[in-house]
Amino acid sequence: MNTLLLTVTAVALVLLVVLLLRPQQEPPESGQEDVDARISPLLRGINFLLSDEPDLALQEMVQVARLRSEAAEVYMALGEMFRSRGEIGRAVRIHQNLLARPDLAKSLHLQAHIALAKDFQTGGLLDRALAQYSKALALKSDHADALEASLRIREQSSEWQRAEELLSRLEQVRNTSYGSHRAYLFSEMAAHCLHEGDLEGASMHAASAIELDSSCVPARIVTLQMAMAAGDDEASIHQIEALYRHANEHFSLVIKKIVAYPEFYRTKAQALLSDFLKLKPDAEIALSWLEAVADLQSRAALLQLYHELNFAPSSLRESLRLQAVVGEAGDAHAVFARKWRKAAKNYSCEVCGVAVIDIRWQCPQCHSWGSLHPKREEVI
């Protein structure tokens, strides 16, 4: 109800400004008549709003807006209010009515298209939202908010090529460079090509991404996957070393992919991983390695690796992960640890703080790219 009261106050203020300004420009008699004609429906409208009868309020507000084009602002405020209350249908109707008015000023036209686009976007009607943003961009091609919102929708719909075009336009408008963001878009294109069996496309896009940002993990993962699938051991080792060097924080993500190629793992990669751990002990790598072997190989292989690594946990989180992976099947602690492991949030966003189970290259909440990092805990 607070939002409602605020909006009503805002609406009343807008009208007050309109009323204060108008009489000075018009003959007193007709001005007075006009003011009277507008006050009545507006007061009735506010009354309906306060009685929580938004449809009747809308009818009255429409009267106000018809009387004077300035009062279209009242309309806009009302639309915003409905959207913020989640009443998307009403917000859409208001903004569509506004756009249907032949006397609408160009600046308000732009605002109304943006508002209608936001209504559709909030309601999940992404195609219709995009169409409205396009209309806004046709009126003002450098509208940064419309470009950014369209970019977000293209990303949400996995339309990476279109997203990249919009990012270029946004770069021009804001006169800034989004190299790292573009690298993630290229890496998504590479992953899509790999999934579709287009190896040439995958290789090209991954290379473009790495050229823009050498620490772009998903692009490096695609390159490594391609090298391992092609049986090119030398290139695979080169990519594993590059990942370790340039994207150390997310290195553990590729361990399971490596163990999935048993011959390459046994003859080459196993020794390489051991060397990394001898060089610098890393709980994330050790635990991910144990988890990968537990998933893809025998329990005997797991216990042998556990013995070789001689890994000791140094935080509660590490202890639970270890228990979940090496604990005996019937052991109550292991049963609990496995349940915890399935539900545990492993990554958190440095921008908005959201925590998720599996890695995402774009944050599902704030939409930043590359902002999710493995959760760390206080060492005991």
Q: Answer for the pair 11, 77: CB distance below 8 angstroms, yes or no.
A: yes
Contacting Zn ion within 348-377 (CB under 5 A): 349, 351-352, 363, 365-366
Of the pair 63, 368, the CB lying nearest Zn ion is at: 368
- 277/207 Cα distance (integer angstroms): 28
> Residue 137 Cβ, how far from Zn ion at the closest point, in Å?
26
Q: Answer for the pair 371, 361: CB distance below 8 angstroms, yes or no.
A: no
> Residue 348 Cβ, how far from Zn ion at the closest point, in Å?
9
> Residue 370 Cβ, how far from Zn ion at the closest point, in Å?
11
Of the pair 89, 364, the CB lying nearest Zn ion is at: 364
Of the pair 41, 370, the CB lying nearest Zn ion is at: 370
Q: Answer for the pair 124, 89: CB distance below 8 angstroms, yes or no.
A: no
Of the pair 6, 352, the CB lying nearest Zn ion is at: 352
Count of residues interacting with Zn ion (CB under 5 A): 6
Binding mask 109-138 for Zn ion (x = CB under 5 A): ------------------------------
Of the pair 216, 349, the CB lying nearest Zn ion is at: 349
How far are the Cα atoms of 18, 85, 88, 367 from residue 124, in angstroms, in the given order?
A: 35, 15, 10, 16
- 379/344 Cα distance (integer angstroms): 18
> Residue 260 Cβ, how far from Zn ion at the closest point, in Å?
30
Of the pair 271, 352, the CB lying nearest Zn ion is at: 352
CA angle 217, 159, 240 (to 5 degrees): 15
Of the pair 305, 363, the CB lying nearest Zn ion is at: 363
> Residue 359 Cβ, how far from Zn ion at the closest point, in Å?
13
> Residue 83 Cβ, how far from Zn ion at the closest point, in Å?
23
> Residue 347 Cβ, how far from Zn ion at the closest point, in Å?
10
Of the pair 67, 354, the CB lying nearest Zn ion is at: 354
Q: Answer for the pair 190, 156: CB distance below 8 angstroms, yes or no.
A: no
Q: Binding of Zn ion at residue 209 (CB under 5 A)?
A: no
Q: Which residues of 238-272 are buried (b: 16+ CB within 10 A; e: fewer)?
A: ebbebbbebbbebbbbbbeebbebeebbeebbbee
Contacting Zn ion within 315-354 (CB under 5 A): 349, 351-352
Of the pair 319, 365, the CB lying nearest Zn ion is at: 365
Of the pair 199, 352, the CB lying nearest Zn ion is at: 352
> Residue 109 Cβ, how far from Zn ion at the closest point, in Å?
34
> Residue 216 Cβ, how far from Zn ion at the closest point, in Å?
18
> Residue 374 Cβ, how far from Zn ion at the closest point, in Å?
15
Contact footprint for Zn ion (CB under 5 A): 349, 351-352, 363, 365-366
